[in-house]
Amino acid sequence: MENNSNLAEILNCIIETLKERSLSRIMEHIVSGRDVFVRLDPGEEIHEAIRSLSDKGIKSAAITSGIGRIQDAEVAYLDSDGVYQKTKYSGPVELLSTQGNLCPGPDGPFTHIHIIMSDDDMNVLGGHLFSATVTITAEIHLRIMSDGVKPSMMCRVPGEGNFVKLELRRE
């Protein structure tokens, strides 16, 4: 009888853990020197996940690569008037490449990300990423800015139109 009680208790604990994990998506990452390797799981939004690195002390970094499978990708280009022209791709697409940066912005951590993606017919598209949700996985590499680069030396400030420009400051 006691074994059944313990088994039920263990099963309830496992169920609660799985529920919590599915409700609170937590990006996993490891740091090796100045390199950060990130794995995102289904349901995680790329910008939010990378911005959350600032809560772990990573304030400024270059996003050097990223691959995976995403959906609901809102991608744009900046026109000559400084206005982003957006397109949303709802279906799943393959994330082929990711570049950009993470730095302090006017309202907290700011990510500037560009991607290259392909649909299931192998048509390749790309542009400035506004949002995307991971469907299977995303694996992203960042390089922490250090060696004398303070977080306040690289930040985002409002620019013309919708553009938020990168400002480099020498201290």
Would 137 be classed as within a structural domain? yes
By residue range, what is the domain housing residue 110?
Answer: 26-168
Model confidence pLDDT, tens digit, residues 110-155: 999 999 999 999 999 999 999 999 999 999 999 998 755 565 677 7
Does residue 18 fall inside a structural domain? no
Amino acid at 69: R
Q: What is the pLDDT of residue 45?
A: 97
Q: pLDDT per residue over 7-51, tens digit each?
A: 777 766 666 655 454 444 578 999 999 999 999 999 999 999 999
The secondary element (H helix, E strand) that includes residue 8 is helix 2-23
19: in domain: no
Burial of residue 45, with CB atoms counted within 10 A of its CB: 0-12 exposed, 13-18 middle, 19 or more buried: middle
CATH number of the domain residue 56 falls in: 3.30.1330.80
Evaluate if residue 171 carries a pLDDT over 50.
Answer: yes
Cα 137 from Cα 17, distance rounded (Å): 20
Whole-structure pTM value: 0.77
Would you say residue 152 lies in a domain? yes
In a domain, 21, yes or no: no
Q: Is residue 11 part of a domain?
A: no
Count: domains in the chain: 1
The model's pLDDT over 63-108, given as tens digits with 9 standing for 90+, comes to 999 999 999 999 999 888 888 999 999 989 999 999 999 988 888 8
Residue type (1 letter), 122 = M
In a domain, 126, yes or no: yes
Residue 139 lies in a domain: yes
- Residue 148 phi, psi (nearest 5): 95, -10
Write the pLDDT tens digit of every residue in 37-47. 999 999 999 99
